[in-house]
Amino acid sequence: MAKRILVAGSSNIDFLLTTPYIPAPGETLISGGKYAFTPGGKGANAAIAAKAMGADVIFCSRVGDDAYGDRLIALFNERGIDTRYIKVDRLEQTGLAVVMLEKSGTNRIIVFSGANSKICDTDVEAAFSAYPDAVLTQFEIRPDAVIAAARTAAYEGIPFFVDAGPADAEFPLAKLEQVEVFSPNETETEILTGIRPNNLENCLRASIALCNKVDIKYVVLKLGERGCYIYDGKYCDLISPYDVPVVDTTAAGDVFTAALTTEYLRTNDIISSAKFANAAGALAVTKLGAVNSVPTLEEVRKLIG
């Protein structure tokens, strides 16, 4: 029977612009590329990825009372996601992310939160009435909503997973309770700890620093083309990446954490789950866009072999 995951997070429309490079201050650049408006947002990406990986997904979010909000809710319904806890905000626009994608596949993202900034503790607490088996959230929503998710998950005795992006050095990490998996990328790790995880020694130092801030069972550092690093308070392991052509790194981290969460709930094995997540994240960078890059469960299993 599929596990039920409550995803509390953001819903955006992404304005994706391909460009040869990012212009310097004062420079006007004719990109010569393409642009598109596509569904995205860290919460939406994670919800769709978790569903694709075989979980039942309840999504707690907010969208504006506009065409973009309508488009997002229709998409979630098409993908089989429980949308009862998505609120339509009459006063705010649907969130927007401007994604500048360079030829190398590297991206830079600017987010306008819009309705996402109104996702609050009561929104999240109400969604627990769907009786989830686990909760997955990110930092693209208000801290009080993230803390409420952690507090309620601890009270209900269900595992709580955190994709620590976008990181904020001022986030009150100490208020999070009993985190099952805490997963930042390299930049987020440095923001939260002051340590760049650019070698094994620094990965360990950063993981220990995080465990000193939060009650974490597993730290899983997303290291991009170097794979991922796991620390459980005693032991550590570096999980090798998959070698794939990079088209667009947008949403790869979201897909990784959603796949890790889903597989961990199936197996209770962090190592095999990290290998599974590496494969899912690798496949995500081979396609353009956010939601559009989410692989199928069959594709992930085929890559793993």
Q: Which phi and psi (to 5°) does residue 102 adopt? A: -85, 165
Structure tokens at 149: 């998710």
Active centre residues (catalytic): 254
